[in-house]
Amino acid sequence: MSVAFDTLKFVEKLEDGGFSHAQAKAAAEAFADATGEQLATKADLREGLAALKADLRAEIGTVKADLRAEIASLKDELRAEIASVKADLRAEIASVKADVLLLKWMMGFILAFQVGIFAKLFMH
């Protein structure tokens, strides 16, 4: 619903304020042309605002759903990446343990060999 613009009343108000009749008439016509001769009422504005709020709520709901889906996807990707890194670390740790065991065995062998050599040198 909109309210028709009362150009006569507008002209009279301008004339009461000191405008000449020609100035008041020209201002009223310009205003009427600019507004399409109809003005929005408070009810029009409330209705428009309510529609805008509903649109914004719907858009926010869509954005929330999109973000939740994106976050869920990222969680899945991160979980997969973490599982891959864990597997790689476990394999690396197992490799290091094997290397440490080999070094321990080699050091024991070298130590035993050195003891044997020292024993032979000092026994003669």
pLDDT tens readout for residues 53-94: 999 999 999 999 999 999 999 999 999 999 999 999 999 999
Strands (E), 36-94: 38-40
CB-based contact 7:41 (threshold 8 Å) = no
Residue 94 to residue 28: CA distance in whole angstroms: 90
Predicted TM-score of the model (pTM): 0.46
Check residue 38 and report its DSSP letter. Answer: E
Kindly compute the dihedral angle of the four CA atoms of residues 34, 36, 41, 44, in this order, to the nearest 10 degrees.
-110
Cα 56 to chain centroid, rounded: 17
- Structural tokens at position 30: 């310009």
Higher pLDDT, 36 or 122: 122
pLDDT at 31: 85
Quick one: what percent of the chain has pLDDT higher than 70?
A: 94
Residue 99 to residue 102: CA distance in whole angstroms: 5
Average pLDDT over residues 28-42: 79
Amino acid present at 36? G
Q: Which residue has the tokens 């150009």?
A: 7
